[in-house]
């Protein structure tokens, strides 16, 4: 994993130099689902990736003091996973062998060189390393009394990560951002703990695997939408543009054609001809298809989806007792946890965030155009859920933020009293059903 980290570090400067000068952004950049760049989910950062939205990071009250921060972070921009690398290769071969007609940019599509390989599949990219470095630097500015040189050197900042290399390397990149911000030498190393029980709870939940992920009936709405009129229309227009028979373009190739624009842009900062194949309306359909899958496999679609995150939920609320005046040193002031989209979505759902008035189904695409459950906005690369505990004159207050912007828990204000939060989740805090998840994965220090 560390070798991969060094390899991608070598190209980091080139990518940053390129991305700093990008002016063109794909028209569909806000609809790339979980392949969306962080700064496209929050365009405030497009001009200055280190900018702080002062109006969004206010304390509950001027007299409040932050005393603890938990940041659960998705890994940064990655290469396509192995399955998607294969889909891209098949699409590339199909376009080169069968596409024809007078599409103005068809020669560019045919000339495009497929550079995605199984060797780099799923790994963190140089841009992804930048995502984490920049996030760390912004958080140092946002919580300057917690993310300090002293707290870091005295091991009061803890790091937990998934065992997957892109998460480990994201953790190392986040640490690098802290070092650069706090003038800590590069050779200073900070421990991290690999803990898949927390960060990959979804992989050890047998009930989730059996009843949802490996059960076609549980995701029938996804299948119905993929075979429905909206997707068929998108499918047909791609067939018409490339003059490839409809039957020769599989759903996997349709998705590969759409997300190639996202990969080329997020990884290289390039707006390629692949971006011209889908208009805004079609991008909204593709984005909804992605959300529909995540809604039924990771979100509100089934109770087990979000109950599987109960172990992480309890860890989030496992805060130390503090004196009212915060008069004694504590062993931990910041806990940084790096995982996956599949880590964040169930936990956000368990908290009751981004729940719309109607469910996401195959037949209500139009009604859900402005849905709260929107993974392009909520779970881009380097997405994060933060819980900041504040000591205020009227007691402890807990402030939640998603992608550095405040969010209100159901029925509560943006900065509720901690006691109000515990009352809201009283049933969950009493304990989780052991059958909903399985403990037993090992964790180790590195």
Number of other residues whose CB lies within 10 A of the CB of residue 121: 16
Can you tell me the distance from the alpha carbon of 33 to that of 11, in angstroms, rounded to the nearest whole number?
26
Q: Token digits for 359? A: 């469910």
Q: Which is catalytic among the residues 68, 75, 134, 235? A: 75
Sheet bearing 395-402, strands edge to edge: 405-406, 395-402, 384-392, 65-74, 334-339, 157-161, 193-195, 443-445
Q: Which of 396, 360, 354 is nearest to 379 (CA)?
A: 354
Q: Residue 257 class from Cβ within 10 Å (0-12 exposed, 13-18 middle, 19+ buried)? A: buried
In angstroms, the Cα distances linking 178 to 137, 184, 351 are 6, 8, 29
> Has 75 been annotated as catalytic?
yes
Distance CA 40, CA 426 (A): 36
**What single-letter DSSP state applies at residue 412?**
S
Residue 404: CA count within 13 A, CB half-sphere: 28
Q: What is the phi/psi pair of residue 41, to 5°?
A: -75, -30
At 173, list the tokens. Answer: 């990149």
Q: Are 419 and 395 contacting, i.e. CB atoms less than 8 angstroms apart?
A: yes
Cα Rg, the chain, nearest whole Å: 22
| DSSP three-state, residue 320 | coil
> Cα–Cα distance between 80 and 278 in angstroms, integer?
20
Quickly list DSSP for 279-296: -HHHHHHHHHHHHHHHHH
CA-wise closest residue to 205 among 23, 388, 343, 45: 343
CA distance 77 to 82: 15
* CA–CA separation, 155 and 12 (whole Å): 28
Place of tokens 């956000």: 348
Question: First CA to last CA across the chain, in angstroms?
Answer: 12
Q: Is 319 exposed, middle or buried (0-12, 13-18, 19+ CB in 10 A)?
A: middle
Active site residues: 75
């Amino acid at each position: 994993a560390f070798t991969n980290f060094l390899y991608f570090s070598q190209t980091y400067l080139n990518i940053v130099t390129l991305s700093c000068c990008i002016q063109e952004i794909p028209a569909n950049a806000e609809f790339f689902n979980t392949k969306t760049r962080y700064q496209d989910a929050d365009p405030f950062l497009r001009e200055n990736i280190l900018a702080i939205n002062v109006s969004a990071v206010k304390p509950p009250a001027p007299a409040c003091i932050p005393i603890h921060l938990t940041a659960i972070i998705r890994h940064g921009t990655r290469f396509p996973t192995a399955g998607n690398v294969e889909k891209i290769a098949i699409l590339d071969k199909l376009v080169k062998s069968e596409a024809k007609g007078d599409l103005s940019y068809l020669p560019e599509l045919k000339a495009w060189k497929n550079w995605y390989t199984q060797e780099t599949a799923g790994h963190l990219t140089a841009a992804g390393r930048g995502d984490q470095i920049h996030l760390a630097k912004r958080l140092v500015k946002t919580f300057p009394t917690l993310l300090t040189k002293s707290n870091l050197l005295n091991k009061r900042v803890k790091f937990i990560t998934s065992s997957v290399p892109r998460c480990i390397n994201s953790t190392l990149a986040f640490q690098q951002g802290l070092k650069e911000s706090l003038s800590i030498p590069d050779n200073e190393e900070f421990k991290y703990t690999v803990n898949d029980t927390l960060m990959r709870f979804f992989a050890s939940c047998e009930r989730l695997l059996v009843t949802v992920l490996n059960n076609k009936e549980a995701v029938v709405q996804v299948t119905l939408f993929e075979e429905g009129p909206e997707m068929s229309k998108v499918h047909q227009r791609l067939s018409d543009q490339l003059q490839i028979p409809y039957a020769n373009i599989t759903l996997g190739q349709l998705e590969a054609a759409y997300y190639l624009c996202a990969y080329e842009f997020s990884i290289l900062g390039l707006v390629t001809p692949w971006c011209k194949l889908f208009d805004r309306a079609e991008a909204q359909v593709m984005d909804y298809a992605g959300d529909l899958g995540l809604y039924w496999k990771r979100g509100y679609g089934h109770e087990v989806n979000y109950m599987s995150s109960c172990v992480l939920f309890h860890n989030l609320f496992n805060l130390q007792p503090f004196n009212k005046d915060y008069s004694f040193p504590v062993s931990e002031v910041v806990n940084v946890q790096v995982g996956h989209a599949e880590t964040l979505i169930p936990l956000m759902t368990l908290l009751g965030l981004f729940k719309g008035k109607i469910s996401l189904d195959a037949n209500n695409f139009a009604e859900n155009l402005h849905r709260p459950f929107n993974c392009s906005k909520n779970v881009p690369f380097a997405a994060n859920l933060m819980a900041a505990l504040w000591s205020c004159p009227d007691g402890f207050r807990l402030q939640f933020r998603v992608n550095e912007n405040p969010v209100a828990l159901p029925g509560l204000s943006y900065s509720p009293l901690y006691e109000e939060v515990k009352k809201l989740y009283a049933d969950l805090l009493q304990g989780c059903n052991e059958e909903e998840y399985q403990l037993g994965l090992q964790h180790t220090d590195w």
